[in-house]
Structure 1
């Protein structure tokens, strides 16, 4: 009986205090203050943010909202044991249109109708402890997103690979580097957290205005400052400096930012004797000029230069099992020198002749110049030990030479025109057309020579220049020279509508997009639809269904086959997708606590015309043929809320499977088949000392089946069918990153005093603990072959990721 009484007392505050959360906006999306609210015989006024909380009456009552020069609004409010959100859009009194409630509240600055998108906090993206990038680091904590390397900003979403994700900044599509094969080479993400104003991410089933890829869409909007600002960060691995400004009349605004990073100290946590010199640098600018109420012009510029130099000397790796412990010792001679230069510029013209029409013209240009050069000679010794750890007499020895001279130049430039017509606040028609000119110049020369007992016999001494190399057997050799200039044209149209069906709120978004690429002369047609219903229940729930036909339009990596040549007969990969989802909001604790939100999504994908590939570290190598089919399914869940009052946290879990059938040989797991993942992003502070804060990111993900050895056929080409003969799953990925912060100055409880310190709006000192438990995660296997064994034996030598590292950061904002 006592337990029942405690349960009633626990939920009593929620049941006893239900309220109306009223928000009033004008047609420009600005808050309407001092609006008169009449309800249950009492009168209230909205605050400066256009917001007011009103207790719900014991009986059904009429709610009225009024203000001079605006048309009035009224609605019957039913008595429920839960709080209700009412969003009102005020129209001028001279307008004949009847005022209506906003079914789903819109944002004033950035607008999206995509029901599959989740909006992420910009503040948390800046504070998350991540080596791979602030925004991407936050994405990795979502249930549908996987990444088995903390050094990489690339992600895998719902069984897709790294190349199947769309990235936009201000609605303009971006490209990532193409030749990256090792997460150590990857520099900073193009997304600068200091410049971000809004983050929208969809894990699938997105609307037609997003392009032709099969997995996800990330849309970033950069912000416009309202006055002068200066912020920066300094740490042991780099720093950044960002400044913003606005003219007195607010017509001209701008953001300028520069970043530098050197991860040498982090890479030194690897268990090897190597001289690393990774240097990453970028500059970004975002300028806006508002000519008048109708015309505006903006410019987004980006330049990045990433250099990666590595001189390996020696590496020792202990692996094997308890019954058969092994040790590999490798001695190196040579070096690797890679360079990546990216440039991008976008000029956008916006024309808004009325409240209903909005036209945008984006003109963009992108250039990516990449160079991957390495010549590494290595000699290795493989030793075995008995159960007591004593070396067994005899050992295997061998050597190999890895050589590459790979150059790539990609240029993409074009224009896109978009228009939106909104006859009322709950209806949108959108149309867009895009033209791209793509130029790709590719030179590949990559080979590997392996020398071990019984494989490549030693040669007698010959004079220089007289060596007959006809009998020299290379493990593999990929050589190709390609140069293409092609056009890509795409267009989309979509319709969005929000309305009431009885007392239930309904959202519908439907449309289609088409694309034609002159390289393979293929035309794609992609219909997509989204539907949501929010029943008028006591339980706050939203049900969503989305799906359609989604293509993976081929580009540089997909059209390049294993010989290094471009295949003009390649076709787009195709998938049929359906996603069923539910959002459930509920409260735990007092009425002032922010509601918790439990999101559950189930999905299924049927895939055709797949191009088989294998994963080598973070590099995706395609076969260059559409000779596979597949399917994927899974379940994602995420609990979001304030476990600690005032700060957001969440817990995510997912179960997923993805299979492929190559040449009718049967279904096997794809290289991205990561079955289970659990992650958590948690924030806390000390109640007595709220300036002491902590955030924690935890990830557990089951291993990928990409531990399969990369074998080569008789022609010296990688054999992507090797997975049918043997598959090996990598160990699970386990990692905890912790950030500890001391806030000296902020705009809340720690305001500065003194003439000098009053110039600071924020000043914090932090300690970041990467890989807090020093777990040796494995990203791939390096396979050592024993040619003397029968059948030939292969030993999987794990390629480890970084260990524990302490970083110190100092952040400020003026």
Structure 2
């Protein structure tokens, strides 16, 4: 028995050696399609080149290319074409006996090609969104240390994001709140991309999206153009990849997020494809086998994409994203685990959408999508001390979304992006909130809400992209939205510019007005809330970027966001309503709200990013910012996300084609908090904040090191990827919040992740 671990190590080592010995004889292939980025028309005769192997090919009449019998490994793939910017795509992984599909788009250039050779390559930008945009490829997403396969955690290293609680996926962007973020997959809006979401917000602890289905991510941290509305802080654009159009591929995996698999294959003789993923959490199954009953949350998700080419000009795609969350905890387990609340919670959500891409001709194209989303919540929350029912929430929320966006090229100096969208909402609320003491110790009477809530929103937008001379782009835009709920029309002018100072240096700037409706879970509570204004912000961004070398880029941005017309509660004059979801994990009922709240955030951000040109990649970022608000009494307070300074360093090293090592270290100033009024808290047996010291104290500074090692095993017709990641490697005790222990009636603290090893495995065949 004692020899089994040794035998197992010998076996694994032997497999490793055998696999390594075979790699020199193992090959795969790379295929894809190259399109014009402005018209989506195929490009004929594009040079596709693998510098490491000194081999390549050109695209055919359909814009397609094929590189067969490529030795397994990681490569840079170079695309060049007369009249277009040359690009280099790093981290192209060739796997044994499999096809790596890589579709790309080339941008036409209006300056001489010699100047573009250095400037292009590893970084790209769109003319309509030239500022505050960061893109990630599939491989960058998959291998990110500290991400755990979660797309939201991948961007935690960016300087625009506050570091408040690493046990949540809260995207707190430039002083905003998780309420203010939007998510789109293939032109289709997804209300929330997390399991166990907070109703009315975008946060949650674990992501839904399977990164193995993602082709790329584009994160807009501010200054986004008029094609997006009803969001104040950020937009995340995700693109699902297409499935294999030639053969059927299968992948099995197990990771931090659960176990599951992916299957993909061709449709209609290669005219289409499908890719489907299914996953489920497994910690509850392990505990069941151990006969442990601790109310472990369970979750599952199913998602996929189907694509079919009707003709050369028409393509249809369907995506579906489904998730299911459940938690059942009894009072005894809650007491044993020091949980103040226990729950019987069930949640379902599904978004299904159809997107139609129509290529008009060489002058433009359009995308039109129609989608339906439902979110069903059935949850009861009880007070652990006496089993008192606190909240009974039965809600069915449904949306039908229609979105159309068109791109028209009038000439080299003039382009137009325009479209419309509409959202039809039907929400059924059957909610009961028992009487309780709020954070200030005030008695709040019970409230029952039983109503069906129907409303709609509609909007239109246009962006004019002007290029009066080479190297300069000016993009004025205008958006108008009508909100039926409060009978309000909002007009949002936006403008951005980009000026190339020389071949490697660019200056950017933007200004915009942004509106967002009050979350309906709040607005539906009282008929009087129809008089609330839509919160708005004025955003200014100035940026500077310079290519330090072909694969390394420096970016500096200054921003200022001025918020107005936020809802505030006169009974809680020093609290900020949009931050309540993060403080209490839900929006509680309010009897009175007025639109007099204001806020401001401003800061400077610096990023140095190096793409994987050879062996090494990395990112260093830092920011200094200040975020404040004024409540009902117009006194100024720091917002609960105000870290003031953030610093991140992350990177990776690939010594060979089999191994990869990476790390991420984050450091941030302590977030503000309001201390307890201890005498009132002891008396109430519940945390009561000291209103006279609102957000006057600071948590200890946050810092954490995440490390990761990946190992690839290539076999004759399959590939095995094994990785080990360690979160918070030196076991720093980071404090998320100071809390009140209602079980023992004493002060306590909520900790972030301790030292957490994470093992993952992917098997492709």
Same fold (TM over 0.5): yes
Change beyond 3 A, Cα 1:423–1:105: farther
Counterpart pick for 1:531 among 497, 507, 513: 497
Residue 552 (structure 2) aligns with? 596
Deviation at 1:417, TM superposition (A): 2.5
Counterpart pick for 2:255 among 225, 235, 251: 235
Q: 1:683 aligned to 2:652?
A: yes
Deviation at 1:511, TM superposition (A): 0.9
Residue 124 (structure 1) aligns with? 140
Q: 1:293 aligned to 2:312?
A: yes
Name the CA distance, whole Å, in 2 between partners of 1:639 and 1:804: 28
Q: 1:703 aligned to 2:670?
A: yes
Residue 341 (structure 1) aligns with? 348
Bigger mean CA deviation after superposition, 774-783 or 345-354: 774-783
Residue 628 (structure 1) aligns with? 597
Deviation at 1:542, TM superposition (A): 0.8
> Deviation digits for residues 723-745 of structure 1, max 9, x if unmatched?
66564333333222222111212
| 1:601–1:637 CA contact under 8 A, matched in 2 | yes
Q: 1:141 aligned to 2:157?
A: yes
- Structure with more helix by fraction: 2
Pairwise mapping of residues 776-791 of structure 1 onto structure 2 (< 5 A)? 776-783=733-740
Residue 791 (structure 1) aligns with? none
Deviation at 1:559, TM superposition (A): 2.0
Residue 435 (structure 1) aligns with? 422
- Segments of 5+ residues of structure 1 without an aligned counterpart are 1-23, 36-44, 54-71, 88-103, 317-328, 379-398, 456-472, 588-593, 746-756, 788-793
| 2:340–2:384 CA contact under 8 A, matched in 1 | yes
Counterpart pick for 1:551 among 515, 518, 521: 515
Change beyond 3 A, Cα 1:265–1:248: closer
| 2:259–2:282 CA contact under 8 A, matched in 1 | no
Name the CA distance, whole Å, in 1 between partners of 2:197 and 2:238: 24
Residue 584 (structure 1) aligns with? 546
| 2:161–2:173 CA contact under 8 A, matched in 1 | yes
> Deviation digits for residues 385-434 of structure 1, max 9, x if unmatched?
xxxxxxxxxxxxxx895622122211001322222212346643122111
TM-score with structure 2 length normalisation? 0.76
Deviation at 1:605, TM superposition (A): 1.4
For the residue of structure 2 that corresponds to 1:180, the secondary structure is: coil
Pairwise mapping of residues 733-812 of structure 1 onto structure 2 (< 5 A)? 733-745=702-714, 757-760=715-718, 762-783=719-740, 796-812=747-763
Q: 1:571 aligned to 2:527?
A: no
| 2:493–2:512 CA contact under 8 A, matched in 1 | yes
Residue 433 (structure 2) aligns with? 446
> Deviation digits for residues 471-490 of structure 1, max 9, x if unmatched?
xx967645433421011111
Name the CA distance, whole Å, in 2 between partners of 1:480 and 1:534: 56
| 2:675–2:689 CA contact under 8 A, matched in 1 | no
Pairwise mapping of residues 655-666 of structure 1 onto structure 2 (< 5 A)? 655-666=624-635
Deviation at 1:694, TM superposition (A): 1.5
Pairwise mapping of residues 43-442 of structure 1 onto structure 2 (< 5 A)? 50-51=79-80, 84-85=118-119, 113-130=129-146, 133-176=149-192, 180=198, 186=204, 188-225=206-243, 226-228=245-247, 229-235=249-255, 238-247=258-267, 249-262=269-282, 275-311=294-330, 313=332, 335-378=342-385, 401=388, 403-424=390-411, 427-442=414-429
| 2:229–2:516 CA contact under 8 A, matched in 1 | no
Name the CA distance, whole Å, in 2 between partners of 1:235 and 1:784: 33
Name the CA distance, whole Å, in 1 between partners of 2:763 and 2:480: 47
Name the CA distance, whole Å, in 2 between partners of 1:432 and 1:259: 36
- Segments of 5+ residues of structure 2 without an aligned counterpart are 1-33, 49-55, 60-77, 83-107, 568-575
Residue 94 (structure 1) aligns with? none
| 1:306–1:339 CA contact under 8 A, matched in 2 | yes
Name the CA distance, whole Å, in 1 between partners of 2:205 and 2:658: 32
| 1:304–1:343 CA contact under 8 A, matched in 2 | yes
CA RMSD of aligned residues (A): 4.1
Change beyond 3 A, Cα 1:121–1:266: farther
Q: 1:693 aligned to 2:660?
A: yes
Bigger mean CA deviation after superposition, 170-179 or 798-807: 170-179
| 2:708–2:724 CA contact under 8 A, matched in 1 | yes
Change beyond 3 A, Cα 1:75–1:681: closer
Residue 42 (structure 1) aligns with? none
| 1:598–1:640 CA contact under 8 A, matched in 2 | yes
| 2:720–2:762 CA contact under 8 A, matched in 1 | yes
Tell me the number of residue pairs that the alignment of Structure 1 and Structure 2 aligns: 651
For the residue of structure 2 that corresponds to 1:758, the secondary structure is: coil
Change beyond 3 A, Cα 1:283–1:253: same
| 1:179–1:372 CA contact under 8 A, matched in 2 | no
| 1:299–1:347 CA contact under 8 A, matched in 2 | yes
For the residue of structure 2 that corresponds to 1:145, the secondary structure is: coil
Change beyond 3 A, Cα 1:475–1:730: farther
| 1:274–1:312 CA contact under 8 A, matched in 2 | no
For the residue of structure 1 that corresponds to 2:329, the secondary structure is: strand
Q: 1:511 aligned to 2:509?
A: no
Change beyond 3 A, Cα 1:551–1:622: farther
